[in-house]
Structure 1
């Protein structure tokens, strides 16, 4: 049975504050994108289900003279649902999807002259992503962590960002070792 993780991601965002569908979608392109993704259409489909399940409520917010935004807020039942999910131990997934690793598994079918460029391209992309993550860390946490510590509401973001940095560092290290190994085999 699928767990509807998106359901709980949306409930978690709405636990922080009321949001419009646009706001929720924007959150998935910011920090959450380091560990979870959802498309605009998936989010709005899930919002409809959450309304039907009475885990969230909808209201209209007037901004300016005419601008109306549909806003969503968590109900008490939604808070209970989120709390239950947060406290439930998580099983390690069978596999993490990694398209590049799948291609590497079938490396014998890649022409030899294309293998190193494929690895180099992946290394370049991963190093770029690592650089972006480290810049984000410097911007958000470096000075606060040194001087005054983290606020309680920053802990989750800090832990997830440092996990993403570790993941990319490990991937970059593996790619560099693999490139050296491939060159030695030639």
Structure 2
């Protein structure tokens, strides 16, 4: 849109009254106060246009960076910039949501149905398998397991000491 608007030089005269005031062809009696008011708004629109062009890093390669003092270009550039920011944020949100879905990721890491308790080096170890269902291998995988130890004898009474062997 900006390219088309910048290349149509005839469309720069989009508000004839503004250009009539600037050319002193307006037919009011107090021409100087009208001209000062218009010059203020022209300077304001130019400053705002330059600020938007700087903030959005657009518009430095064209012949007339103020688009012939056409205020409609200010609205067009502002709207296009906001739509671009909105579209970029939507796209970023979709990609981030796709990458960071923990529910689907949790379904691709599976554990073995059976585990082995083995004694080695005077300690008990719980051994189980963890596999990745995706085609990529797990790298730097760390696991943490918590064991609840309930010591009881054959009859079902809990030991007085309540101590068991540590599981590593």
TM-score, L = length of structure 1 = 0.26
Q: Which has the greater radius of gyration?
A: 2
Q: What TM-score does the superposition give when structure 2 sets the normalisation length?
A: 0.28
Higher relative contact order (CA 8 A, sep 6+): 1
Structure with greater proportional helix content? 1
